Amino acid sequence: MVHGQLRAAYSLYSRMQDEGYIPPQQIQASMVVLYKLSTGNSTWSLTGAAEKAFAQESFDEEEFRYLLRIISSVTRLPPAVYDDLIQLFIKSRGKENYTLSSKTESLLAYIRTRRERMGEVRETNFPAEEGPLADRTTAHEQELKMLLNMAKKDPEIAPIIHSTIRRMRHNDEAHGRTLYNIMMSALADRRRYADVFSVYNMMIRGDKSILPNAYTFGILFRLASRFSGPRTIHSRKTKAPKDVPTMRALFRDMVYCHRIQTGKDVTSRTPAINGSLMNKILRTFIEAGDFAAAYVALRSYAVFKIPVLLATYRAVIGAIMQRLRHEHPYVHLWNDPGRFWSYRFLGSPPTVPEEINVGVMDGVLKFGTKAALQLDPIELYSDVYLQYIADAVSHYVATKDDRDIPELTYRKVWNARRKHPSYRMPTAVSLLGLVHSPVDVWSTQPLLRILNRAIFASRPSRFLPDARIVSVEIRNARTEMLPAFAPPSKESQKARLLNM
């Protein structure tokens, strides 16, 4: 049904009945409605079948949402049909002023956003003047006026905005973080970037229930990276709005939202921060050349109790390899290759690698095994070692081995203060997915060492000692991205508290 093959689904449903299997009532009701769609009968017969389906006690809003998803994906029904379906479902509930759940409203908003000419679908399930708090002056009149102005500018997203406004008035508070996110996504798709950041400012100034979450910051980081980095031939056509926050400022706002929702216990989980978002932020910082910000973001993994997985290593190493590939053709053309970051990062090797391949990736990973901060030349694969690794990988795959093998699935990293390896990092072949380590939790320190080297290589002029240059860059980034760290307590040296 999801792929639009309604007749095939109904044939399977009929065969199940013939063999004695009795599907649940909600499936039976949904199939009747979907069969009317597949046979191309009149709208009147469709609404009649829907009315009978909605009358089933077991047909709840979850089934209604499932039905709407299929109808919107496989048909091009006029808006009036959706109006009738919504009203029939509300009528079947048998309650006056029945309010649809936020999930259902979000789905309707999504349908209106992704489908053209859906603007006539009713924005809500009760008139605004009949809301219980319609006559009460709310605390969000300024936000309401701003939303109404946006609706006047763009009639296509007006239904979503009106739905948000009516819900805010009904609950006397700015509920509906999901609806705000859908609005921001719709505005971003239409390149209404100034309105995107206006909605974001409304959310960040709102109460705790609508503070931006990980999805919100994902949209904002994508836009901020487009305007903060060098203008390309594609981004040059788009005019940047005024007062766009920097990516460092957005990271600080994300930490602020996390702190507001957790209080003093910043190690608790909140909707504002998760591992997937942090990995994307790491890659965004590195692609923008802000290695100090990437270093601070990576250090915050321990504060927020986010594990460093293989995806984290892929985000960091992948972004570095992408920049190496981008600058590699120009290094051979210039008489002074030292002007390029990639050449300095690789340690100014006497012979530039012919291509950026898995050997260079393994050499970059080896930078994480060295505690000393110095731009020594990269160590590349020898032909003998390359053949050894190829044979080992072939044997590992052929035998379907699942062991954790040193130098194949992982690499031990020594701590200079100890006499035994303390850190664990993946190899190049494990990053590429050729072999799979049974343990997908890695150490942060090797990545921090690689980023230290990247920070040092980004400063061609060396007026300060090596470590001093890196320390100044990291301290400046931490000041912009994080509130001041409180001194770690004796009970827990790892859990640090953010003082707002």
- Per-residue pLDDT at 41 exceeds 60: no
- Mean pLDDT, residues 418-437: 84
Write down the pLDDT at residue 307: 93
Write down the pLDDT at residue 133: 31
d(CA 142, CA 163): 17
The DSSP output letter for 273 is B
**Helix ranges (DSSP H) in 157-213:** 158-171, 177-189, 193-205
- Per-residue pLDDT at 305 exceeds 50: yes
The DSSP output letter for 414 is E
- Mean pLDDT, residues 266-291: 90
Listed range (59-68, 206-215, 412-421) with the worst mean pLDDT: 412-421
pTM: 0.69
Write down the pLDDT at residue 198: 87
Position with higher pLDDT, 494 vs 89:
89
- Mean pLDDT, residues 320-325: 93
Q: Are 293 and 255 in contact (CB under 8 A)?
A: no
Q: Are 378 and 346 in contact (CB under 8 A)?
A: yes
469 Ramachandran zone, left/alpha/beta (phi>0; psi -120 to 50): alpha
The β-bridge partners of 421 are 414
Among 272, 282, 270, residue whose Cα is nearest residue 225: 282
Which tens digits make up the pLDDT trace of 340-377? 899 989 988 877 787 888 889 999 999 999 888 888 88
**260 residue type, one letter:** I
pLDDT band at 318 (very low <50, low <70, confident <90, very high): very high
160 Ramachandran zone, left/alpha/beta (phi>0; psi -120 to 50): alpha
- Per-residue pLDDT at 123 exceeds 50: no
d(CA 403, CA 383): 26
Write down the pLDDT at residue 209: 77
Write down the pLDDT at residue 137: 40
In the chain, what are the domain boundaries?
1-94
The β-bridge partners of 412 are 424
Write down the pLDDT at residue 316: 96
Burial state string for 460-489 with b = 16 or more CB within 10 A and e = fewer than 16 = eeeeeebeebbeebbeebbeebbeeeeeee
Burial state string for 181-218 with b = 16 or more CB within 10 A and e = fewer than 16 = bbbbbbbbeeebbebbbbbbebbbebeeebbbbbbbbb
Which tens digits make up the pLDDT trace of 66-79? 878 777 776 767 66
- Per-residue pLDDT at 273 exceeds 60: yes
- Per-residue pLDDT at 324 exceeds 70: yes
